[in-house]
């Protein structure tokens, strides 16, 4: 009499696991594809605002993480000049980056304003060899 309960519970657990894996697959696939486009944003912040600049990246909403085609980001601090940073983002392609820049999420992520800066420069690159 109880064998059907065991079968039902086992089937329910298997379906839940399969559904959970199916939900994860698209984002994992997106992250597994190698990036083809990179941005390098050179930022020189006003002296004394280095910690604030770093904390903004650590605490921000991370809206970029949900952007289609986004692969990852690194914030690098210069080894000899503490107020110089390089923000490097990796994208599936240039179209994904352009779509992010034109999105409402981009505007939300940058709405608060920023840390006082001395200089900023954005460079973009295509990955041509590994």
Q: Are residues 114 and 65 in the same domain?
A: yes
pTM value is: 0.71
Range of the domain at 42: 33-126
2 vs 8: CA distance, rounded Å: 10
Query: For residue range 30-87, what is the model confidence (pLDDT) as tens digits?
Result: 557 889 999 999 999 999 999 999 988 887 767 888 899 999 999 999 999 999 999 9
Cα dihedral sign, 31-103-53-93: positive
Q: Are residues 71 and 84 in the same domain?
A: yes
Using CA atoms of 23, 35, 75, 81 in order, give the dihedral in degrees to the nearest 10. Answer: 170
């Amino acid at each position: 009499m109880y064998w059907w309960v065991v079968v039902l519970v086992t089937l329910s657990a298997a379906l839940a696991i399969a559904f959970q894996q199916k939900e994860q697959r698209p984002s994992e696939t997106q992250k597994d594809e190698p990036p083809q486009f990179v941005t390098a944003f050179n930022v020189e912040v006003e002296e004394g605002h280095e910690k604030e600049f770093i904390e903004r990246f650590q605490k921000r909403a991370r809206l970029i993480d949900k952007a289609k085609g986004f692969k990852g980001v690194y914030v690098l601090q210069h080894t000899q000049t503490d107020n110089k940073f390089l923000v490097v983002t990796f994208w599936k392609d240039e179209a994904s980056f352009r779509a992010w820049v034109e999105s409402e999420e981009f505007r939300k992520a940058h709405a608060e304003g920023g840390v006082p800066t001395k200089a900023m420069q954005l460079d973009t690159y295509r990955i041509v060899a590994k």
